[in-house]
A and B are shown apart, each in its own frame.
Chain A
């Protein structure tokens, strides 16, 4: 029983980690008042760049860095379109995903079918052998710990740092922030780039750690789930972690239920993660005031200093 629980938790954390990265990055982007729906495209670029770099250099660290840089590159394209050229954010984000699917396939052509070793997992003697706690807490690759640390750092940044205050102010009322003298566009550029970097790392996690390989479209819709998780989290970093683990946990649990041989069509079991997310969102959304306080008021709105 303990073994099973530990096993489910272990798989759950791996399944949730790419979502944690991408959703936390997108949360910061959205907090600055920008809605970037191109997460899927940025993740794909991160996945293929991370993989190609690691294969070429043999260094997974460089791979992760390349994933982040690729995500930043994509996000800069988006930022240029929406912040400099003032294009519509929703449509530009979707176009970015179309673009990313194509571009990643183009880059990845020669890497399909190339094998690679997964990132090594941390193993600490004695502690790693403890029942339940050992494997669940200490059986992961370094990126998993990084994702949790990231959530903590973003929480601290948004709520306890001056930079976070400025970022939130920009997302809340860009004209007011501009009037006080903040460089709205510059701050948003940084927030979008951070989102891109995290999506890129999320993608690289898939191609380097989770399933070390490159195949086209390997994100399989995880960018969309990450976007939904930001909404689910009501723009609070801690809840991103909860949401991603909930989604991952239900996904793994339904596979385990299938393995036990229950008499329910698998399609219905596969619906469970989506339904569970809706259900929990409904439960936590009833306090409407709290959500309104967290949702950035300027999200998706075009900003120009003179208008």
Chain B
């Protein structure tokens, strides 16, 4: 009975396989996620990008995803399987997938790979990332406009350059509006744990923070901000429905355009390896609608900053930039280059506490 069942199963699977093999007109796009689709944060946003591909191309594409893949030994197998199963384009959406992606890419030269937030490329491996620090700059300006206590809380995940860069961009913008304001950072050592994030938000508010910014995924901090009557900035998605009164804006991850463009490039045969680090101008990130309760001049300032960043007039890391010891690291008028931004492991003046080395 079982044998028979398996026999027919094998036949059915074979048939399915043959069908897939014949349908060459369809472009297969694979995704590997580090978290569950239901995290409402990083992975959720990438999956929204995947859905955008499906919506754009309809029957011409088939998308696949594997969620909650550990960044250890599992990643290579999953990426390889996606390549083996005839995917034409594979997005590996976490930094920790970098080396496995490159390894598999070598074995499958005809498959195109796109690795998020990494720095290693190959003939068939592109990298892409968003200049989220541009959004942090805008958020910092708003925080400077609304803070009365001059203490701003920042819930951070892990001390990697991406997060440190965000803290610095935020702090500099904050102090450009309120020079005496300071940023308190609490590291929760997790990307998402609503309980811990809410505890961190409470601790920061208890220590005088009247604005909460977060580099973690869950809406818990904005909820706490609303409960305690302080302002907050959302992460990844528009979190305003979780805290309509407190949610000033959010820095949105928007992978849709990029994903659609890259799938299109594969379809047209124009795909080439590239290093993309796009910002507000290309729409890889955007600011969620500003809270109506914000002062008009604050919103105007934020909108102006977005426009200036888009036009290239404003760069958030323009000197003078001082480090925590007060030493000028970047002279007035100069800008930090991308290499310095990518590797950032020091705090600017105005951030409290030391960054562990």
Consider the complex of A and B and state whether they touch directly, i.e. have CB atoms less than 8 Å apart.
Answer: yes
Chain A residues near B (Cβ < 8 Å):
3-4, 7-8, 10-11, 15, 18, 105, 108-109, 112-113, 115, 118, 206, 210-213, 215-218, 220, 222, 251-252, 255-256, 258-267, 270
Contact code string B1-25 (vs A, CB < 8 Å = 1, else 0)? 0000000000000000000000000
**Distance in angstroms between the alpha carbons of A126 and B170 in the assembled complex:** 41
**Distance in angstroms between the alpha carbons of A39 and B317 in the assembled complex:** 48
The smallest beta-carbon distance between B239 and chain A, in angstroms, is 9
List B contacts of A267 (CB < 8 A): 187, 189, 356
Contact of A213 among B185, B242, B352 (CB under 8 A): B242
List B contacts of A251 (CB < 8 A): 196, 199
Are A263 and B353 touching (Cβ within 8 A)? yes
The smallest beta-carbon distance between B152 and chain A, in angstroms, is 11
Contact of B219 among A10, A18, A213 (CB under 8 A): A213
User: What would 6 A/B residue contacts be, using CB atoms closer than 8 Å?
Assistant: A7-B206, A109-B38, A211-B223, A215-B192, A216-B37, A260-B207
List A contacts of B193 (CB < 8 A): 218, 220
- Asked whether any CB of chain A lies closer than 8 Å to the CB of B203, the reply is yes
List B contacts of A217 (CB < 8 A): 36
The A contact surface, by secondary structure, is helix
Inter-chain CB contacts under 8 Å: number: 119
Are B44 and A112 touching (Cβ within 8 A)? yes
Are A255 and B186 touching (Cβ within 8 A)? yes
Are B202 and A216 touching (Cβ within 8 A)? no
List A contacts of B82 (CB < 8 A): none
Are A118 and B202 touching (Cβ within 8 A)? no
What 3 pairs across the A-B complex have the smallest Cβ distances? Answer: A261-B353, A266-B187, A265-B356
- Asked whether any CB of chain A lies closer than 8 Å to the CB of B339, the reply is no
Q: Which residues from 166 to 195 on chain B have a C-beta closer than 8 Å to any C-beta of chain A?
A: 184-190, 192-195
**Distance in angstroms between the alpha carbons of A18 and B196 in the assembled complex:** 13
Give the contact-size bracket for chain B: 35 or more
List B contacts of A222 (CB < 8 A): 195
- Asked whether any CB of chain A lies closer than 8 Å to the CB of B159, the reply is yes
List B contacts of A212 (CB < 8 A): 223
- Asked whether any CB of chain A lies closer than 8 Å to the CB of B241, the reply is yes
Are B38 and A261 touching (Cβ within 8 A)? no
Q: Which residues from 200 to 255 on chain B have a C-beta closer than 8 Å to any C-beta of chain A?
A: 200, 202-204, 206-207, 218-220, 223, 227, 237, 241-242
Are B186 and A112 touching (Cβ within 8 A)? no
The smallest beta-carbon distance between A7 and chain B, in angstroms, is 4
Contact code string B102-116 (vs A, CB < 8 Å = 1, else 0)? 000000000000000
Q: In the complex where A252-B199, A255-B199 touch, is A118 in contact with B227 (Cβ < 8 A)? A: yes
Q: In the complex where A256-B206, A258-B185 touch, is A215 in contact with B39 (Cβ < 8 A)? A: yes
**Distance in angstroms between the alpha carbons of A118 and B194 in the assembled complex:** 14
A15-B199, A108-B38, A213-B219 known; 6 other A-B pairs, CB under 8 Å?
Answer: A211-B198, A211-B220, A215-B40, A215-B194, A217-B36, A266-B186
